Chains A and B, each alone.
Chain A
Amino acid sequence: MAKVKGAIVIDYEKCKGCVICVAACPTSVIEMAKEVNSKGYNYAYPANIEECTGCNNCAIVCPDGVITVYRAKVEA
């Protein structure tokens, strides 16, 4: 059976670390980095990317539009 798998790319430099995407992700893909970007924000990163379904939720609530989403069908 075909399964949908997703992936996200976050522009770490433009992320302001607001954490809203973390709350929006249904599969707990995103976590906040312990490191900061050059603006001093703890940026969001896809810590558990294997759980991503490519649902877009994180990207559409990101106020700064820094998340790009990909999705592909994979054979189980």
Chain B
Amino acid sequence: MLAKDIIKPENLVYQKTKLMTDNVLSYCPGCGHGTAHRITMEVLEEMGIGDETIGVAPVGCSVLAYEFMNIDMQQAAHGRAPAVATGIKRCYPEKFVFTYQGDGDLAAIGTAETIHACNRGENITIIFVNNGIYGMTGGQMAPTTLPGMRSSTSPYGRDVNLMGNPLKMTELVAQLPGTSFVSRQAVHTPKHVRKAKKAIRQAFELQKQKKGTTFVEIVSNCNSGWKMTPVQANQWMEENMFPFYPLGDIKVPE
């Protein structure tokens, strides 16, 4: 049987979800943002809640997330997405609300908004993409940059005595009574994508049950900022990021 005989509508097993627009993603080749966007939208599609969901985009590389996610979206000021999401969700407790934030947005300028939204147990889902660097502004040090890791503002490596230590926001919010599900995942291999999607699904299912804040970190790459090829970046991430940011569920409902 030839490929052209297989490529027929009745044999279709996977295509891009309709909850992603046809706009060409603004991300660099190999960037995990695209995959993280897509699996989030796949979860909404599979749950049938795309029409009842309002997403909040951050400042950073994913500032244009609303160009790609084919649902109602609001673009928030830098770091303020959890506050914006709080405003929406408090007024529409039956709708689904999520934020999609990078590490600069969530773990530096938006630390207060993140911690307090989680501590209040706002019934929202926070998707946190952590690539240890400020990608949008050109590869500066992030709160999550690893010790010794080079960036344009730590050109000789992050000196923790001088620049402070990386912040593990995910472990931090797991301490708070307001969070019900806190997980750390990755999206660079098929196996990891499947697990990450499962975690995002669980986060939205718990939001449906009004279980408080659900928080999924995705440890991702930044091949442009790290100055590597996408494949090298994924390997570097496995060797360096995962030991510091171990994958798996950190907090699950009892």
Contact = CB atoms under 8 A, between A and B. Distances in A.
A50 B35 CA distance: 27
Interface string A27-70: 00000000000000100001001101010110111111111111
A69 B14 contact: yes
Contact of A24 (B27, B38, B190): B190
Contacts of A65: 16, 20, 25, 34, 38
Contacts of A57: 190
Interface residues of A, number: 35
A6 B20 CA distance: 24
Given A5-B1, A52-B3, A63 B35 contact: yes
Nearest to B35: A63
A70 to B, nearest CB: 4
The B interface is mostly helix, strand or loop, or mixed, namely mixed
A50 B6 CA distance: 11
Contacts of A16: 28-30
A62 B28 CA distance: 12
Contacts of B188: 20, 61
16 contacts: A14-B24, A16-B29, A20-B230, A23-B234, A24-B189, A41-B29, A49-B3, A50-B3, A54-B13, A61-B188, A61-B190, A65-B16, A65-B25, A69-B13, A69-B15, A70-B12
Given A23-B189, A63-B30, A69-B13, 19 more contacts: A7-B4, A7-B7, A16-B30, A18-B230, A20-B188, A20-B234, A23-B234, A46-B3, A56-B14, A56-B190, A60-B194, A62-B34, A63-B31, A65-B16, A65-B25, A65-B34, A70-B6, A72-B1, A74-B1
Interface of A: 5-7, 9, 14, 16-20, 23-24, 41, 46, 49-50, 52, 54, 56-57, 59-72, 74
Interface of B: 1, 3-8, 11-16, 20, 24-25, 27-35, 38-39, 187-190, 193-194, 229-231, 234
